[in-house]
Amino acid sequence: MSKSLPRLDLRYNRPIFGILLGACLLLVLYLAVSWISPWRAPFIYFLCAVAIPLALWGLLDRRPKLRVDEMGIRYSRWGWILVQWSEISHFEVRRFWGTEHITAIPINTTRLHDRVPTAWRINGYLSRLLGLGEFAIQAGGLDGGIVEIQAILSHYHEVRTEGSTLKTGRMLMQQSESLAWYRWPEPDGTHYFASDLTDPKIVEEVFDYCQIWLASVTKEGWRFLIKTHALSGLIAINKRSGWFDEEDDVKAMAGIREECLIAGYDPDTDQFGTYDEETGVFNPAREA
């Protein structure tokens, strides 16, 4: 049985930003009482003009910047997308100009990159240029030290990926078993696992690829989708994807059922077997 892990929300570290704000205000006060004009010290005034709003933002903004829970990680500079633990290989600490950053090393960087909103990808490009990796977490300004945050991430990753299984009804399925496949990138394509297909958005992605003959779902995959999302959930996903009839739920349900049968799974009896498309007869496999 998998361990239950609490949700952790990490915000900007108020003491750090408070010290920054205090230092800037003292510097501005010193410049003022010393009658040092901006023309004589433009660089110092510019730094204060930039640092003071940033410090105020860090003090007042109480929204979570990094969320860690059983499902995975959400980070503000990644566009707050959910990065599941199964998508991460490991974490590394990398350094740049004396500062340390935690970098998540994805199993499939291209696929994860494509999920990041376009507006936030520039942050990944800059991090990569600095040698920090595209998925770096700037933990220095967050609650807790970098050592503590790295320990939390590593612990959650270990608990959620080591020997993890997903139980659905009578089915016990290893998360390492591929349930769906997309042909790109070559040569091996992209495999989708149980941890992926719990997310309706990823199921929608698979449906999008299936309808243009670039992806397929295994019989075990269809069983997992039915057990996890139910037919009603898959019909709702189909309304966004358009693989089957979006306007007629009955036709959409018939289309989903047909795909299940062709793959070798009968959703009505919850059995695997073979399906004859010409006769419409499904022959259950004999139990060993």
12-58: pLDDT as tens digits: 888 888 888 899 889 888 888 888 777 778 888 888 888 888 888 88
pLDDT of residue 192: 87
91 pairs with which residues across the strands?
104
Same domain, 104 and 17: no
Q: Is residue 204 part of a domain?
A: yes
Tokens of 15: 């003491």
Q: Is residue 109 part of a domain?
A: yes
Q: What residue numbers bound the domain in which 230 lies?
A: 168-284
* CA separation for the pair 87, 81 (Å, rounded): 12
* CA separation for the pair 287, 272 (Å, rounded): 10
HSE-CB for 161 with a 13 A CA cutoff = 17
Q: Is residue 52 part of a domain?
A: yes
Q: Is residue 104 part of a domain?
A: yes
Same domain, 202 and 249: yes
pLDDT tens digit sequence for 229-283: 888 899 999 999 888 888 888 999 999 999 999 989 999 888 898 888 888 888 8
* CA separation for the pair 80, 195 (Å, rounded): 18
Q: Is residue 3 part of a domain?
A: no
Q: Is residue 4 part of a domain?
A: no
* CA separation for the pair 206, 243 (Å, rounded): 10
CA nearest neighbour of 6 among 159, 127, 135: 159
pLDDT of residue 165: 33
pTM score: 0.50
Domain stop point among 161, 189, 211 = 161
Tell me the average pLDDT across 141-155. Answer: 79
Domain stop point among 137, 161, 185 = 161
Q: Is residue 7 part of a domain?
A: no
Tell me the average pLDDT across 65-90. Answer: 87
Same domain, 24 and 108: no
Same domain, 177 and 249: yes
Task: Please check whether residue 9 is in contact with residue 152, taking contact to mean a CB–CB distance below 8 angstroms.
Answer: no
In this predicted structure, the answer to whether residue 77 has a pLDDT above a threshold of 50 is yes
CB atoms within 10 A of CB 124: 21
pLDDT tens digit sequence for 83-107: 888 888 888 888 877 777 888 888 8
Provide the number of structural domains found in the chain.
3
CA nearest neighbour of 114 among 151, 148, 87: 87
Same domain, 155 and 241: no
pLDDT of residue 2: 41
- For the chain, the straight-line distance linking the first and the last C-alpha, in angstroms and rounded, comes to 27
* CA separation for the pair 111, 59 (Å, rounded): 35
Q: Is residue 213 part of a domain?
A: yes
Task: Please check whether residue 73 is in contact with residue 83, taking contact to mean a CB–CB distance below 8 angstroms.
Answer: yes
Domain stop point among 123, 140, 161 = 161
Same domain, 264 and 177: yes
Same domain, 273 and 199: yes
Same domain, 201 and 265: yes
Buried-state track 60-83, b at ≥16 Cβ within 10 A, e below 16: eeeebbbbbbebbbbbbbbbebbb
Same domain, 74 and 95: yes
273 pairs with which residues across the strands?
284
Same domain, 149 and 78: yes
